C-alpha cells in the first residue's frame, strides 16, 4: 500500500469533514421542515436575492447592493413576524421523526389494521373517504384547515367520522403515529392536469398532498 497517497489526510481534515457533514445535515433538515409551506418560497427568494447581492458587490453596482442590504436588514425582522406560524410548526416538528421511529412494529401493524378495516367498511358502504398518514414532513399547516383532534386510531372512529352528513365527513383525516390529529381538513389540490376524468376532487387532493409531502394518502 502506498502510504504517500494518504498524506493529504491530515489530522485537521477529519474535523473539517465532520463539520461539513453536520452543517449539511442541519440545512437538509431545515429545508425538509419547510417543504410544503409558504416559508420555502421565501427561502428560495432569499437565495436569489443573496446571489444578486454578491454579484452587485462584485460588479460594484453601488445602488443595487445598498438597496439589497437595506432589504436584508429589515426583511429578516419582517420574515419572523409574517412566518411565525411556520417557524412555530418547524420547532414543534423537531424530533418528530425520532418519535415516529419509536413506535414498535406491533404498534404500526395495529394502526394499519384499524385503517384497513375502516377503509373496507367504507368501501362496502359506498362512502367516500380520504386519510393522510404523516411521514417525516409534518402536516401541522393542514390541521388548522379542519378540526384538531387527539384520538387513538380505531376503525369505528374512522368510519363514524366519514359517515354521510356527519359534521366532519367532508374533509380529510390526518394521522400521526397511532393518533388522529385532525378531521375535516382541506388538502391542496394538484396543479397538474389529471388525465383520468373519473378522478374527482378527493383524488386531486390526495395527489396534491403527495406532491408536497411524504405522507401516505388513502382514498375511497
Same domain? For 25 and 88 the reply is yes
Same domain? For 68 and 175 the reply is no
Same domain? For 51 and 24 the reply is yes
Residue 213 lies in domain: 103-219
Same domain? For 201 and 118 the reply is yes
DSSP string covering 195-209: S-TT--HHHHHHHHH
Same domain? For 30 and 73 the reply is yes
Same domain? For 38 and 139 the reply is no
Among the three residues 69, 92, 115, which one is the final residue of a domain in this structure?
Answer: 92
According to the model, what pLDDT value does residue 3 have?
52
| Gap between the Cα atoms of 22 and 16, Å rounded | 10
According to the model, what pLDDT value does residue 118 have?
93
According to the model, what pLDDT value does residue 154 have?
92
Same domain? For 46 and 17 the reply is yes
According to the model, what pLDDT value does residue 90 have?
59
Among the three residues 92, 126, 152, which one is the final residue of a domain in this structure?
Answer: 92
Q: Are strands 147-152 and 130-133 parallel, antiparallel or unpaired?
A: unpaired
DSSP string covering 117-144: HHHHHHHHHT---EEEE--SS--HHHHT
| Gap between the Cα atoms of 188 and 174, Å rounded | 13
According to the model, what pLDDT value does residue 165 have?
86
Q: How many domains does the chain have?
A: 2
CB of 54 within 8 A of CB of 60?
no
* 98 assigned to some structural domain: no
According to the model, what pLDDT value does residue 121 have?
93
Same domain? For 114 and 215 the reply is yes
As beta bridge partners, residue 175 has 133, 180
CB of 89 within 8 A of CB of 140?
yes
C-alpha cell at 215: 405522507
Q: Considering only CA atoms, which of 107, 220, 216 is closest in space to residue 159? A: 220
- Number of DSSP helices (H) and strands (E) in the chain, helices first: 9, 5
* 116 assigned to some structural domain: yes
Q: What is the CATH number of the domain that holds 203?
A: 3.40.1700.10
pTM, rounded to two decimals = 0.57
* 84 assigned to some structural domain: yes
According to the model, what pLDDT value does residue 34 have?
63
According to the model, what pLDDT value does residue 95 have?
53
Same domain? For 88 and 107 the reply is no
CB of 169 within 8 A of CB of 161?
yes
According to the model, what pLDDT value does residue 181 have?
92
Same domain? For 111 and 88 the reply is no
* 97 assigned to some structural domain: no
According to the model, what pLDDT value does residue 66 have?
83
3 state DSSP class of 83: coil
* 169 assigned to some structural domain: yes
Residue 35 CA: distances (Å) to CA of 98, 105, 108, 182: 18, 28, 25, 20
| Gap between the Cα atoms of 78 and 87, Å rounded | 13
Same domain? For 79 and 111 the reply is no
According to the model, what pLDDT value does residue 182 have?
92
Same domain? For 109 and 210 the reply is yes
| Gap between the Cα atoms of 36 and 136, Å rounded | 12
- Per-10-residue mean pLDDT, the chain, length 220: 54 73 78 62 75 84 81 72 63 54 63 92 91 86 89 92 88 91 89 70 87 87
The b/e string for 27-60 (b: 16+ C-beta within 10 A; e otherwise) is: eeeeebbbebbebeebeeeeeeeeeebeebeeee
Amino acid at each position: 500500500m502506498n502510504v504517500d497517497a494518504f498524506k493529504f489526510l491530515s489530522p485537521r481534515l477529519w474535523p473539517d469533514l465532520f463539520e461539513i457533514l453536520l452543517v449539511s445535515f442541519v440545512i437538509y433538515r431545515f429545508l425538509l421542515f419547510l417543504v410544503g409551506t409558504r416559508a420555502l418560497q421565501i427561502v428560495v427568494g432569499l437565495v436569489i436575492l443573496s446571489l444578486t447581492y454578491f454579484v452587485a458587490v462584485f460588479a460594484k453596482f453601488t445602488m443595487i447592493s445598498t438597496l439589497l442590504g437595506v432589504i436584508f436588514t429589515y426583511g429578516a425582522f419582517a420574515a419572523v413576524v409574517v412566518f411565525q406560524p411556520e417557524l412555530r410548526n418547524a420547532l414543534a416538528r423537531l424530533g418528530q421523526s425520532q418519535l415516529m421511529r419509536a413506535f414498535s412494529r406491533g404498534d404500526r401493524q395495529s394502526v394499519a389494521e384499524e385503517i384497513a378495516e375502516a377503509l373496507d367498511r367504507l368501501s362496502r358502504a359506498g362512502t367516500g373517504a380520504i386519510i393522510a398518514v404523516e411521514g417525516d414532513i409534518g402536516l401541522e399547516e393542514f390541521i388548522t384547515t379542519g378540526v384538531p383532534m387527539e384520538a387513538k386510531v380505531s376503525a369505528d372512529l374512522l368510519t363514524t367520522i366519514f359517515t354521510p352528513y356527519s359534521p366532519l365527513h367532508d374533509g380529510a383525516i390526518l394521522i400521526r403515529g397511532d393518533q388522529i390529529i385532525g378531521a375535516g381538513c382541506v388538502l391542496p389540490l394538484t396543479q397538474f392536469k389529471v388525465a383520468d376524468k373519473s378522478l374527482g376532487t378527493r383524488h386531486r387532493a390526495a395527489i396534491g398532498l403527495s406532491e408536497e409531502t411524504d405522507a401516505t394518502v388513502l382514498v375511497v
